[in-house]
Amino acid sequence: MYPGTYADTTPDKAAIIVAETGRVVTYAELDERSTRLADVFRAQGLVPGDHVAFIADNTPEVFEVYWAALRSGLYVTGVNNHLTVDEAAYIVRDCGAQVLVVSAGAAALAHGVAQQCPDLGLRLAWGGPVEGYADYEAAIAAASPERPAVEPSGADMLYSSGTTGRPKGVLPNLPTHRIDEPGDVFTAVFGPLYGFDADTVYYSAAPLYHAAPLRFGGMQHRSGGTVVMAARFDAETALAHIERYGITHSQWVPTMFVRMLKLPAEVRERHDVSSQRVVIHAAAPCPVEVKQQMMEWWGPILNEYYSSTEGNGVTIIGPQDWLAHPGSVGKAALGVLHICDEEGAELPAGEIGTVWVERDAMPFSYHGDPEKTAAAQHPDHPTWSAIGDVGRVDDDGYLYLTDRKAFMIISGGVNVYPQEAEDVLVMHPAVADVAVIGVPDDDLGEAVLGVVQPVEGVEPSADLAADLIGFARERLAGYKVPRRIEFQAELPRSAAGKLVKRRLTEMYR
């Protein structure tokens, strides 16, 4: 299934709704415009396996680019529109894009990238003029609306978020099926699991250059549902959108839950969110207390999965299983889990180590970087891959994530996983956001530092720092508690809600 399927059967149905304005893009419009754009790509000489990139804010045209590439057998790469010119240009060059499509909302960045990437074959811009780019609307208006007899399937080639270093391009194996044939593995896993169908009204406020928002939006179009997309996340506005559009399915990251929970009770109670049947969250481990409070508010409808941009595996856990196994991210639904020590030896149940996923074949490579690809493969099992997460599996096969391997602190010879202290401190009423990092220490090697963003109206102070340390000490072993607290007006998070800890470690080291 793909947009063309529903353009033929339900052409006037909303494929996309812009949450802030109510603008509707029908399946007929999405199908025709992506067909025309695919014709533009072919006229440019692109063939299956070539690359298209986009730089844009959250607008429906992103899905036109996505489907034009996928129905042409191309790779499509979304570029974070919050990057610097140098960072964005690196990705455009690294992915080998022959076409760059941008929105006027990212005009300054797009112009800078064009200057650094003069060899791009075609540059198009929608939403207004962008220097160095041809008009998107004029290009698709002049193209053919006729579907080719055969439309091969393409794939997204997205970049890791770069929270611990330079982003890596994740190159999946190109599909062998046609776009109108079943074969998308993520749709096969998540579609039946979450009940995605023609009646689904799916809400997403996350940026479309990230894997989950783009792929899950695409899954709705494969299922005939409607995507309600917001330009950005705002806690109270999101609640209003759920009520206004009768949202049945939604996806979030834990930071969004925290910010909604910290709204005043009267604000939360003002909005009816009872239309929701399935609430999905991922991207980062969710503190147990946060998830418990969300369940009390929204009901036992929270579903969690653990995966990655690499797509090397998937674990899933439903609300009832989670209540029986609080803190778990579930059992394997794609791949087989293995927990290994530093030498690659498999550990027994309950032991903490690197999370490896076994598949029939290595499902991805890092574009243009065989060394990074090799580093992601187990030394003795070439079909096992790891992306740097640390965790344990219990006797029943449930995975519990401990932290990213790169974030682990070694203090006085003891491993400290920052996530534990972060999960505690974020529940303090004065804390809007928190990161725990290791900083150099002459005595311990590394000392545990907490960096806190206070809630609006709370002033940083030595008394508040002492209160936070005491709050953590009541709930954690002493070695896990930050030795000191620093304050920042805002912590560096990606638009997908992930902490960019490398910026903090650079600041405090």
Alpha-carbon gap, residue 129 to 134, rounded angstroms = 8
Closest by CA to 90, choosing from 112, 58, 121, is 112
Write out the two tokens for 173: 């194996």
In whole angstroms, give the CA distance from residue 326 to residue 333: 18
Mean pLDDT (whole number) for 161-178: 74
Asked if 203 contacts 177 with a C-beta cutoff of 8 angstroms, the reply is no
Stated as kind and residue range, the H or E segment containing 124 is: strand 122-126
Cα–Cα distance for residue pair 435/420, rounded to 1 Å? 11
Q: Are 89 and 114 a contacting pair, CB within 8 Å?
A: no
Q: What's the helix, strand, coil split of the chain in %, to 5?
A: 35, 25, 40
Query: Is the sign of the CA dihedral 190, 195, 200, 205 positive or negative?
Result: negative
pLDDT digits (tens, 9 = 90+) for 327-367: 999 999 999 999 999 899 999 999 999 999 999 888 888 88
> pTM here?
0.83
Asked if pLDDT for residue 190 goes beyond 80, the answer is yes
- Nearest CA among 8, 30, 10 for reference residue 197: 10
Sorted by where each starts, the structural domains of the chain and their CATH numbers stand as 3-226 (3.40.50.980), 233-404 (3.40.50.12780), 409-508 (3.30.300.30)
The Cα–Cα gap between 110 and 92 comes to 11
Please state whether 22 falls in left (phi above 0), alpha (psi between -120 and 50) or beta: left
pLDDT tens readout for residues 377-406: 999 999 999 988 889 999 999 999 887 777
Amino acid letter for position 81: N
pLDDT tens digits, one per residue of 73-100 = 999 999 989 888 998 999 999 999 999 9
Residue 344: how many CB atoms within 10 A of its CB?
16
The model's pLDDT over 6-60, given as tens digits with 9 standing for 90+, comes to 999 999 999 999 999 999 999 999 999 999 999 999 999 999 999 999 999 999 9
Integer Cα distance of 431 and 426 in angstroms = 6
Tell me how far apart the alpha carbons of residues 380 and 386 are, in angstroms, rounded to a whole number.
13
Judged by DSSP in three states, 483 sits in coil
Mean of the pLDDT values across residues 239-253? 97
